[in-house]
Amino acid sequence: MRFGFRANTSSSVDQLRYTGVANTLDGRDLVDEKGSLVDENGRSYRDIVNETDDPNYYRNKNLKSLGRSKSYQHTASLNYKLPFRSIPILDWISAGVDYKADYGWEAGSLIKIDKNPEPNGTYLGNIIRNGQNASFNFTLDFTKLYNKSGYLKSIETGKASRTTTRKKAPKQQKTTSGKDEVNPIDMRVDESEDEPKTKDNGKNTEDKDKKEDKPRDPTLVERVILRPLMMIRSIKFNYKDDRTTQIPGFMPQSKLLGQSEGFVAPGWDFIGGVQPRISGENNWLVKNQDWFNSSTKFNDGLIQTKRQTFDAKFLVEPFKDFSVDVTFKKNYQESHNEVFRKTENSNGKFEQLARYDVGSFDATFFSLNTLFDNSAGLYEQFKENREIIARRLPNVANPGVHPTDPSYPGGYGSQQNNVTVPAFIAAYTNVSPFKIELDQQKSFASNTYIPKPNWQLNYNGLGKLKMFKKYFSNITIKHGYSNTIRVSRFETSPLYKAFYFFVELSPNNNYYSRLEIPSVNIAEQFVPVIGISLKTVKDFKLDFDFKMTRTLELGLYNLKETKSKEITIGAGYVLKNFKAFSKKEKSKKKSKKKDTAEGEEDDKKDSGLLSKLMTNKGTTATGRDIRFTLSYSLRDDLSQVYDLQSGIGAQADRGQKTITLNPSIEYDVNKNLALKFYFDYSRTEPKTTLSFPITTIRSGITLKFSIN
């Protein structure tokens, strides 16, 4: 465990200043930093200076009290690692907790914003702020846990763990006379000469003991049954919660630890980073309103922020060489703004005015169950859901019929934000509109909200099978699913009034929403649906990927859907030690072997061309590599827009079919120069009348020269 504390403070030593117009300084008045001509007892500073004959008395007085506090900040941190590593049976667990709290007090400007109360008036006040950052993380390494058992470890490897033991030396025997000791080795030699049968019997007994001591390897049945039960290999979890509060108009002055005289304001909890509750019952602001600026002209706003981050990762291996990474992620942030002050009509009570919330959130999501459904059918389901949601939302006893949307109740039309957002999520996740959460922002903000899983699958065990090992050095199969729901911004409607929610209507005859969500995005993709990567034993590579994506964007007036499919194929091969274009030099050999070398060269004139190019025994040419690559892709995407107001079906917004083909050959002329021939072909066929088909062909040769 580690604890840290740091504090910083600054002060200003004030002195009197001359003011007014006079021929001499003695004829001018003196004022303090607040512009006052008198001290706290009502005595004139000019009279005090004349009596003491010390124009610096005010400065010296402030110097003795260490001046006027200008700012104070402190930070406290606590880090604690749970001691699992010290416990052998639990050393596969790692966990830690971090907490950080900060507090700050800033002196406000010495400006009077109100002449009341007389005679000093009201100053602007100071600013206090605090922050709280808490995080928790843990890791469970199940592989390390399984290896603690020799039997479970043998299930993983297929062989029982062997432990080497040192043989005990045989006891020395004494002769019958009891005088001399006989060497055991000599004794065994004598036994071999005199009693050969006894030697054989001992050897058989020793072999039998070795067989009994040898650990038993697990059978195939044991591995097939038990290995899937050990599929969870690791779990990682991280959670962070960061909150801050800043409040202006705080009137008490900073003393020790940034608190007021007597450690009263703002309290131990506030300087410890605890976030005050500023709404509902037990409101911290209302309970401590005597600490804040009481002027009706005060208009500075307070800010309270919150940010939560959550992520978890599971590594699952049902069997060897087959892994699945499952991830969960969530990010939520919100900022609350308001003005806490008295008004002329509040009868001397503080009010919380101009409340305004703004924020955003994103999380891993799941809508795979509708990815392959017909788009038109899903939109019709969305339209039906809107009518159901509109009737589930709170309303007056007899709301009547919506003026412009007769199938909807009064106050909740087809474009009302509280209606469209839950109806959209219900339709594209195949959830019943009778069960969907109506307040999606509240649902995401909750600490109990669990994001949906995304996954990435990899299998590279095929290349190790006997039937493929002869031809392939590696075979990898992959599959992945990724989905994120994102609200880039939500904000309080400025016209929303909680007490008059069912009274005021917008120009389109809808109630004002508490929060307006201008846009909801769902980005879903298979990365890929299936991907295969092959590498032969002769270094030929082949890659194949099939991808699918879907993007949904719900706006205030329309719904936009984009779907795309893409197939990519890539191939590559490196021809190593190619010598056809390399400079040849005759090798120097002894005269006795020259004729023999020439004879061998003549005998191989009829061999294959590629063999000649790669093996010229009569020369010392240096071979170079030739790299062949080929890539092909076919992409088909279409974007459609649905109008929420008219209800008209899909209208194509954009889309195209794109084919690309890119072969290339690259040859290393030498270690500094590379020659590359390329050919790029691309054809685009649009699906709307806003553009034309485009075909592009580029080809050429490039030279790449590197200086070493």
Tell me the three state secondary structure of residue 524.
Answer: strand
User: What does the DSSP assignment read for 192-210?
Assistant: HHH-HHHHHHHHHHHHHHH
C-alpha distances (whole Å) from 44 to each of 16, 19, 23, 41 are: 12, 13, 20, 9
Provide the CB-side half-sphere exposure for 61 (13 A, CA).
13
Show Cβ contacts of residue 531 under 8 Å, excluding neighbours closer than 6 positions. Answer: 476, 477, 478, 479, 543, 544, 545, 546
User: Residue 214: its pLDDT value, please?
Assistant: 59
What is the spatial distance between Cα 701 and Cα 703, in angstroms, rounded to a whole number?
7
Placement of tokens 């006027």 in the chain: 68
Placement of tokens 């599959």 in the chain: 479
Tokens of 147: 């290896």
**Phi, psi for 296 (deg, rounded to 5):** -75, -10
C-alpha distances (whole Å) from 204 to each of 200, 209, 297 are: 6, 9, 106
What is the spatial distance between Cα 631 and Cα 485, in angstroms, rounded to a whole number?
33
- Other C-beta atoms within 10 Å of 440: how many? 21
What is the spatial distance between Cα 471 and Cα 476, in angstroms, rounded to a whole number?
14
Element (H, E) at 284: helix 284-287
User: Residue 179: its pLDDT value, please?
Assistant: 43
- Other C-beta atoms within 10 Å of 208: how many? 10
C-alpha distances (whole Å) from 102 to each of 147, 200, 242, 271 are: 44, 83, 12, 7
What is the spatial distance between Cα 566 and Cα 47, in angstroms, rounded to a whole number?
90
Tell me if 335 sits within 8 A of 305, measured CB to CB. yes
Eight-class DSSP state of 169: P
User: Residue 599: its pLDDT value, please?
Assistant: 46
What is the spatial distance between Cα 428 and Cα 351, in angstroms, rounded to a whole number?
43
User: Residue 220: its pLDDT value, please?
Assistant: 83
End-to-end CA distance of the chain: 52
- Other C-beta atoms within 10 Å of 176: how many? 5
What is the spatial distance between Cα 445 and Cα 436, in angstroms, rounded to a whole number?
16
pLDDT by 10-residue block (mean), the chain, 708 residues: 87 73 67 72 75 75 76 93 91 94 89 71 88 95 90 80 52 45 44 46 53 68 87 95 95 88 90 91 91 89 95 93 95 94 85 91 95 92 94 90 90 92 95 92 88 95 89 94 95 81 85 91 95 93 96 93 96 84 51 47 45 44 80 95 84 92 91 90 91 93 86
